[in-house]
Structure 1
């Protein structure tokens, strides 16, 4: 990582990043993108309807007639269902309750304090791996992890005599490249599951034969992925990033900040403000330690009570056969379980640490969490219309059947086609960094298509996770790259995107290959991805 001056000749990496930035800037914003996609589906469906196109879905008794938006029937359907298309968008049902609880845990400081405690208690040799682990599982805090973890990691590294720049880069890379996985269910799991369920009705035979998708459908896969990626992140920080910084003589002394101390980023119309001069201490106060103790005990006791309630014989959370798999009230209660664990832990932390006075603060914290989600709630309106039209028109069935027939004819029905799918996701992720936006587009086509060749929707969703994260730490479309650059300039005053590129690339390829390797092991060994979710739809193979 070299200190380039403002007048230096642009490097090859600078030119690549600039090209990516120009290409990405030509894409419509997500809201506009889904309006265009909605109109395209409407036009294509109308042309197909006028041409009398029908499609025979394997296993269905009757052929599906493709319908068009710009017909009498289509316009009547749209005007009658615009509200239901929105409020019936499945991700809203799962994401919003979980987000309310995570809002309590985050706004009281519970999650931040837990991260600071973990970093502060790690011995010197373990610190890179702890930063890697906290980064990989940090998606529990949503985008806040990009602002909170990197400077804390830098301070922790400096405190034990290690390179703060290594901690800074490692914390950001682990958080970004491993964003789609975690050892605990998060709002992202609920969001992905909701989108997956939203597209399944386009091919009823797949929807009927596939296992239900819920926030823990990828849980086993996520846990293994989190562990593997955490170890990889720690290894890269310790063996590649830090030695390179030492060889290059990068100083660990912070420089005086110049210019404005507040950085504002326009991320799809959302203003993100970061005080780049604010000191973030990693030492916990006595009140915070007390809050962590009570919050942790609250989570543990609540978890034990839930466990006891579901394990007793004749538990109402078992299915009719007295089991939990493949379908049961327990699996349908995942959103509730995640909600109550975060809410209890966050409230007890806030009450005992003094960050909130009492229960009256809870609705305010929930309101703040929903305020953070306003951009998604607006985007969900057009996403819901797009998915509803895609399903109603029969375009989804048409594309899925044609795509599945094409895959079978080409012979690319094994893991090779999954690799191509993951590569496609990784390339698109350079331009569309919103996971919900990209999964909505990809799921609408590939979940039913791969379902018709015998792959479970939960597996397609797991494959998407691999391609969705790794490349987002090397694209200027990621607004938090600017935040990282601001932090980096504390140590390297003239740092630019080329410096970031050289610091992030060592993480991207290993993460991508290792994560794909984990997916391959699950695929070839036929291991369950989560409770009740396998790789193949046996009745459609």
Structure 2
């Protein structure tokens, strides 16, 4: 990793230290294997100690640590290994999405569209637009992790800027800004349902009038707020530290040729036709991809966004390749897709070891123990007001380093914290928003986040020496800035008393 020729600042020295320490960690494939083995050992130790906690949300029920080194545990290890690999959440999403993206990339469509984009807009707005697009990508669930970071790298390379800076800006928007958006998404549904259920244990009448858009006003404003923060961090911290790119990858920025313009015209025409056809599957009230009662947020359409993305990239990419003669027959298509999949070998290997760790961690119930002990600590310190909310944010941010799934973590924490906050006079809506701020902000600095491995794989295309410490050092400024300033925005919101969303008060007066 190169650095600026000027004397490094205190912040840059700290990040360099984090990079050096982090890079002493084993290769990510090895690290996940070691962590999986550590979970096995801890499960045996804690199980032998008889460790148990009360199950969140299930009064009278207890949760114990499952010993994976027992006879039944060893049986589980051997019989589940293939399933743990296959069921690793990003594996199918990434590989399937790359079918569509791969053909668009290999035919040159993505490159030529980025060149056209760069030539047509003010360069000062490109970083903001990239972070903003990353934040908005949460509408498409996890697909943004696969689509935008590599596009951001290509975009910055075409501008003569460090491609890792573009990858980092996109990754920050997609992951650290996951809970901000101009639209409601599946996240609002998943978390909202859990919040309403937790609130009903204290005040069923209050829970009945809650709605899934309870945080909408705040996340709407946060979209622009975080895009600005992410842009400033990129331009004044990340890019100066990365310095000039000295790698082999180059993206030439030249004017579009007549053939390329013709290819764009026909590919965009095919994209428009594809969009219309897809819209017929979702827009009409009786469309086949609508949910029960005509719902859109909870619907087969939202469950099939990966397929939609594959189609949205594949068809225009195919048309562009045919028009520009980059594709002449079906063999060319198969070869280009094969080349794309060949580049995913490291990610597949990472998915195998990471899948074992994630499965073991869940099977042992260690995540539940961490969450419950965190909740007990928050109760024991007897804080109130803004300090309570800020400590809650910090605790959730820390827990998020070990439990990546927002919904799984909230399923554990909501039954504990929502009632606590309500008893202290704070609304479930506020508790949920504080949770979302913390959960999103630290996503980008934990190797245990399910998409961290694919980001490293993308980054290594531009810097073969990129390792865990290097990526954490690049992303840490975003994480700290988002956590700090997003929390301050929430504090300001609390002080002004502005509703967080439709019927989304700050205080609870039940």
Distance 2:174 2:73 in 1: 41
Contact 1:526–1:535 at 8 Å: present in 2 too? Answer: yes
* TM-superposed deviation, 1:58: 2.6
Distance 1:360 1:300 in 2: 26
Structure 1 residues 3, 380: CA separation in 2 closer, same or farther (over 3 Å shift)? Answer: closer
Match of 2:327? Answer: 356
Match of 1:340? Answer: 311
- Are residues 1:299 and 2:261 paired? no
Cα RMSD after superposing both structures? 5.1
Distance 2:68 2:333 in 1: 44
Distance 1:363 1:220 in 2: 47
Would you say how many aligned residue pairs link Structure 1 and Structure 2?
424
Match of 2:119? Answer: 120
Distance 1:224 1:348 in 2: 39
Structure 1 residues 412, 106: CA separation in 2 closer, same or farther (over 3 Å shift)? Answer: farther
* TM-superposed deviation, 1:68: 0.8
Structure 1 residues 144, 51: CA separation in 2 closer, same or farther (over 3 Å shift)? Answer: closer
Contact 1:132–1:230 at 8 Å: present in 2 too? Answer: yes
Structure 1 residues 141, 219: CA separation in 2 closer, same or farther (over 3 Å shift)? Answer: farther
Contact 2:40–2:68 at 8 Å: present in 1 too? Answer: yes
Match of 1:149? Answer: 155
- Are residues 1:176 and 2:162 paired? no
Per-residue CA deviations over 1:331-374 (Å, capped at 9, x if unaligned) read 21211111111111221222222222244333333322222222
* TM-superposed deviation, 1:290: 1.6
Q: 1:330 aligns with which of 271, 296, 301?
A: 301
Distance 1:87 1:504 in 2: 29
Per-residue CA deviations over 1:158-207 (Å, capped at 9, x if unaligned) read xxxxxxxxxx36x7645423424359x99xxxxxx99xxxxxxxxxx99x
Residue 321 of structure 1: SS of its match in structure 2?
helix
Match of 2:125? Answer: 129
Match of 1:409? Answer: 380
Distance 1:54 1:508 in 2: 33
Residue 25 of structure 2: SS of its match in structure 1?
coil
Distance 2:328 2:359 in 1: 44
Residue 309 of structure 1: SS of its match in structure 2?
coil
Distance 1:406 1:91 in 2: 33
Match of 2:53? Answer: 55
Q: 1:450 aligns with which of 408, 413, 438?
A: 413
Distance 2:411 2:120 in 1: 47
Match of 1:83? Answer: 82
Distance 2:317 2:293 in 1: 36
Q: 2:257 aligns with which of 285, 290, 293?
A: 285
* TM-superposed deviation, 1:75: 0.7
Contact 2:105–2:111 at 8 Å: present in 1 too? Answer: yes
Distance 1:535 1:377 in 2: 45
**1:156-167 correspondence runs (5 A):** none
- Are residues 1:23 and 2:21 paired? yes
Contact 2:149–2:166 at 8 Å: present in 1 too? Answer: no
Contact 2:153–2:165 at 8 Å: present in 1 too? Answer: no
**1:248-263 correspondence runs (5 A):** 263=247
Structure 1 residues 511, 294: CA separation in 2 closer, same or farther (over 3 Å shift)? Answer: farther
Structure 1 residues 421, 369: CA separation in 2 closer, same or farther (over 3 Å shift)? Answer: farther
Contact 2:437–2:483 at 8 Å: present in 1 too? Answer: no
Structure 1 residues 14, 451: CA separation in 2 closer, same or farther (over 3 Å shift)? Answer: closer
Match of 1:366? Answer: 337
Residue 280 of structure 1: SS of its match in structure 2?
coil
Structure 1 residues 291, 466: CA separation in 2 closer, same or farther (over 3 Å shift)? Answer: farther
Residue 159 of structure 2: SS of its match in structure 1?
helix
Distance 1:47 1:280 in 2: 57
Contact 1:69–1:393 at 8 Å: present in 2 too? Answer: yes
Structure 1 residues 314, 388: CA separation in 2 closer, same or farther (over 3 Å shift)? Answer: same
Comparing 139-148 with 384-393, greater Cα deviation is found at 139-148
Match of 1:164? Answer: none
- Are residues 1:466 and 2:441 paired? yes
Per-residue CA deviations over 1:265-318 (Å, capped at 9, x if unaligned) read xxxxxxxxx24xx67133111111122222222222212221122222322222
Question: What runs of 5+ residues in structure 1 fail to find an aligned partner?
Answer: 155-167, 187-192, 195-204, 210-217, 246-253, 264-273, 429-437, 485-496, 529-533
Distance 1:34 1:468 in 2: 17
* TM-superposed deviation, 1:120: 0.9
Distance 1:44 1:52 in 2: 12
Per-residue CA deviations over 1:487-529 (Å, capped at 9, x if unaligned) read xxxxxxxxxx9xxx9x99998986666666678899985459x
Distance 2:335 2:493 in 1: 43
Distance 1:45 1:424 in 2: 21
Per-residue CA deviations over 1:126-148 (Å, capped at 9, x if unaligned) read 32113542466487655544653
Structure 1 residues 515, 111: CA separation in 2 closer, same or farther (over 3 Å shift)? Answer: farther
Contact 2:43–2:65 at 8 Å: present in 1 too? Answer: yes
Contact 1:129–1:233 at 8 Å: present in 2 too? Answer: no
Match of 1:268? Answer: none
Per-residue CA deviations over 1:33-66 (Å, capped at 9, x if unaligned) read 2222212221221122223333321333643332
* TM-superposed deviation, 1:78: 0.9
